[in-house]
């Protein structure tokens, strides 16, 4: 039985050799847990100490309970880039902030070794890990190398000089009127078409952008089936953004709403339009008797993830078939 971590507890993070017995036992436990969760070995389960710049073990009152490794990713991830590997906390010690201590120590080790950027890979069935990385300033990036064809992988990165990408600090919010419209409203249709066209124009790596990618494969009228409300944001009479709300389909829990088709014209991003739309979507979902909201988003733009986190969303395990939607993250929040 794990004890509490308080002011009287000794918590120490040690740099150890890759083949240190405590480190090896923690890595083995991590791999066993991943195998149980995903039903197969992790892609990098046979990783050796080659290119490992630092192996860390966190001990509580002398007991090894967590670990993490830093790999030199210069060769395959670019100059100045380190990769975080083997992040793990024993189950009985979770929820005490120990994973954040390991992450902070790895970042300190990376800076001390001259790395300017950190990257990592985790899995779609590990929302707690995704939440940790997002809260620490990491943002989703396209999958790379051996993870490129792994639909259950999600990759993240962070520039060590800052807290990661987000809305420009100098952005001035604008006033918009958010109004309900029919799904077939011409302005709403035009905005949804722009939503679909934009990631397609950026290239294949950006085309996985949540449920909205399904729109080209079916008519827009079919995509509107079951929508509770469609909202358009207008500024000075011009339509500048849209969002839709529907009841989340099974196997999401009863009473959940799905927020989808969120789009803001490029010129007004980071100006509060997206926040106004999602807030109005929450109000519409509550009025329909929904108790929680769920949404999916792709890896770009990362500012979308920043918005959802600021609005109280947290990563959740997908309740839908994630194998057909690579590079998508799922978030939910109570209403």
Residue 184, domain CATH? 3.40.630.30
Residues 282 and 144 in one domain: no
Which of 127, 159, 191 finishes a domain? 159
Residues 82 and 149 in one domain: yes
Q: Within 13 Å of residue 209, how many CA atoms lie on the same side as its CB? A: 27
Question: Which residue(s) pair with 257 in the sheet?
Answer: 247, 293
Token code pair at residue 236 = 């000075």
Residues 155 and 181 in one domain: no
Range of the domain at 288: 177-334
Residues 191 and 125 in one domain: no
pLDDT band at 33 (very low <50, low <70, confident <90, very high): very high
Residues 57 and 151 in one domain: yes
Residues 206 and 284 in one domain: yes
Token code pair at residue 128 = 């707690």
Whether the Cβ atoms of residue 235 and residue 175 lie closer than 8 Å to each other: yes
- Say what percent of the chain tops pLDDT 90: 70
User: How much is the pLDDT for 47?
Assistant: 79
Q: What is the DSSP track for 199-257?
A: HHHH-GGG---GGGGGGGGS-HHHHTTTEEEEEEEEETTEEEEEEEEEEPPTTSPTTEE
Residues 138 and 204 in one domain: no
pLDDT surpassing 60 at residue 249: yes
Number of structural domains (the chain) is 2
In-domain check, residue 72: yes
pLDDT surpassing 60 at residue 285: yes
Distance CA(58)–CA(152), nearest Å, equals 28
Mean pLDDT (whole number) for 85-89: 96
In-domain check, residue 6: no
User: How much is the pLDDT for 159?
Assistant: 96
In-domain check, residue 164: no
User: How much is the pLDDT for 223?
Assistant: 81
Strand 177-181: give its sheet, edge to edge. 177-181, 227-235, 238-247, 256-264, 292-297, 329-334, 314-315
In-domain check, residue 172: no
- Say what percent of the chain tops pLDDT 70: 88
Residues 67 and 96 in one domain: yes
226 vs 129, residue with greater confidence? 129
In-domain check, residue 201: yes
In-domain check, residue 171: no
| Structure letter (DSSP) for residue 162 | S
Classify the C-alpha dihedral 184-188-190-194 as positive or negative: negative
Residues 184 and 327 in one domain: yes
User: How much is the pLDDT for 211?
Assistant: 43
101 vs 318, residue with greater confidence? 101
| Structure letter (DSSP) for residue 267 | G
Residues 15 and 140 in one domain: yes
Return the minimum-mean-pLDDT range out of 88-97, 202-211, 245-254: 202-211
pLDDT in tens, 137-194: 999 998 888 888 888 899 999 999 754 444 445 578 999 999 999 999 999 999 999 9
Question: Largest Cα–Cα distance in the chain?
Answer: 67
In-domain check, residue 134: yes
Residues 184 and 154 in one domain: no
Classify the C-alpha dihedral 187-193-196-202 as positive or negative: negative
pLDDT surpassing 60 at residue 18: yes
Question: Which residue(s) pair with 295 in the sheet?
Answer: 331
Residues 134 and 190 in one domain: no
């Amino acid at each position: 039985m794990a004890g509490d971590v308080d002011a009287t507890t000794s918590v120490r993070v040690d740099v150890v050799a890759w083949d240190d017995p405590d480190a090896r036992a923690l890595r083995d436990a991590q791999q066993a847990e991943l195998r149980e969760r995903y039903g197969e070995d992790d892609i990098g389960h046979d990783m050796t100490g080659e290119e490992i710049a630092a192996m860390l073990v966190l001990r509580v009152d002398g007991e090894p309970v967590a670990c993490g490794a830093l790999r030199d990713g210069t060769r395959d991830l670019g100059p100045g880039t380190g990769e975080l590997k083997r992040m793990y906390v024993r189950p009985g010690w979770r929820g005490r902030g120990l994973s954040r201590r390991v992450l902070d120590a790895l970042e300190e080790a990376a800076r001390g070794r001259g790395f300017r950027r950190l990257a990592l890979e985790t899995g779609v069935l590990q929302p707690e890990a995704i939440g940790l990385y997002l809260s620490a300033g990491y943002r989703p990036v396209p999958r790379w190398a051996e993870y490129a064809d792994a639909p259950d992988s999600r990759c993240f990165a962070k520039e060590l000089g800052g807290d990661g990408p987000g809305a420009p600090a100098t952005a001035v919010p604008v006033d918009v009127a958010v109004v309900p419209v029919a799904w077939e409203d011409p302005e709403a249709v035009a905005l949804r078409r722009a939503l679909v066209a934009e990631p397609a124009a950026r290239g294949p790596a950006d085309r996985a952008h949540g449920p909205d990618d399904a729109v080209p494969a079916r008519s827009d009228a079919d995509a509107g089936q079951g929508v509770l409300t469609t909202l358009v944001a207008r500024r000075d009479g011009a339509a500048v953004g849209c969002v839709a709300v529907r009841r989340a389909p099974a196997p999401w829990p009863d009473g959940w709403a799905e927020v989808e088709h969120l789009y803001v014209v490029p010129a007004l991003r980071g100006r509060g339009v997206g926040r106004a739309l999602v807030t109005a979507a929450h109000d519409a979902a509550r009025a329909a008797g929904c108790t929680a909201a769920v949404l999916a988003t792709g890896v770009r733009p990362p500012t979308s993830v920043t918005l959802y986190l600021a609005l109280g969303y947290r990563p959740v395990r997908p309740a839908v078939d994630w194998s057909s939607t690579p590079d998508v993250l799922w978030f939910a929040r109570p209403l």
